[in-house]
A and B are shown apart, each in its own frame.
Chain A
């Protein structure tokens, strides 16, 4: 019999990690919350095995990733259709649609690129965000990403390249006004 209080503590310890994994892949807070709930329900079913395991975090991350990809695969035909309609102009619109750095909260303006990146990453179009997250954060190889998503290797590389280009375009205006960045850049020059 699993102690409810013990499991609730377990949920609170890992909920940020599970939720972050889900929302970075599915891009939608409500869906990420549903997926996170499913992850913990599975964890409950296997709690006796995983609670004493040293790879609890890895297990939860893997389940969150798989459930997120399953969720996306149900809508893959829809977002793949839209991603193929996208072109360079649409990527520019993505950058423009994000709040300009000078309109963001002051805490973000204090050179915290990570917060800006977090914000921009979740807003990327799914076709770019998913392979980018799987590559940089889930540490999957290109081939594994292609296999998971059911697309070609070249499409994975193209989408990751486009996602990085979009993030770079978003970051550039904010870095221009960053004193630390300017100091470092001028020192090199």
Chain B
């Protein structure tokens, strides 16, 4: 039977000299496909790329538009002062915006009274269930490994 130090010598000698393992055949095609996809993404127009690749003015414009839409939906009534209201009565588009504002106010009211408490309740339930899963998993693992050792 080999002596322990002979095995130690064998490991010291052979471990650094172990042959390389063969990479999967699909690795090279995968790499080339990823490079082609990356190159195609870079040459695409900016509006077809991810938001992070957009120029600053486009991002600022999108942000401003989002703010405008949000403000119309959630506080539309506040934006419409007397002068705008008078204008709105003459302009069909402004009438439409006023309708959107009314809908936005109704949605905001619903959120305050019903949506928010429900949303918070769901968050609490999810956190509680996750904690239970983590706790049960830990207990089961410890029981399983303790039984194996015995």
Chain B window 1-36, contacts with chain A (Cβ cutoff 8 Å), 1 for yes, 0 for no: 111101110111011111111111011101110111
| Contacting residue for B24 out of A4, A29, A172, CB 8 A | A29
Verify if B43 is at the interface (C-beta below 8 Å from A): no
Interface residue ranges, B against A (CB under 8 Å): 1-4, 6-8, 10-12, 14-24, 26-28, 30-32, 34-36, 38, 141-142, 145, 148-149
Q: Contact residue range for chain A?
A: 35 or more
Q: A19's contact among B15, B17, B24, B35, by CB below 8 Å, is which? A: B24
Q: Which residues of chain A in 163-177 are interfacial with respect to chain B, using CB atoms and an 8 Å cutoff?
A: 164, 167-168, 171-172, 175-176
* A interface residue numbers (CB < 8 A to B): 4, 7-8, 11-12, 15-20, 23-24, 29, 33, 36-37, 40-41, 44, 85, 87, 89-90, 93, 113-115, 117-118, 121, 132, 136-137, 139, 164, 167-168, 171-172, 175-176, 181, 185
- How distant is the Cα of A176 from the Cα of B27 in the complex, in angstroms? 39
Contact status of A33 and B7, CB under 8 A, knowing A41-B31, A89-B149, A118-B18: no
Minimal Cβ-Cβ distance residue in B for A139:
B16
Residue ID in chain A nearest B35 by CB atoms: A44
Given A4-B35, A87-B149; A20-B21 close (CB under 8 Å) = yes
Q: List the A side residues contacting B14 at CB < 8 Å.
A: 113-114, 117
Cα A87 to Cα B6 in complex, Å, equals 25
- Distance of A108 from chain B, by nearest CB (Å): 13
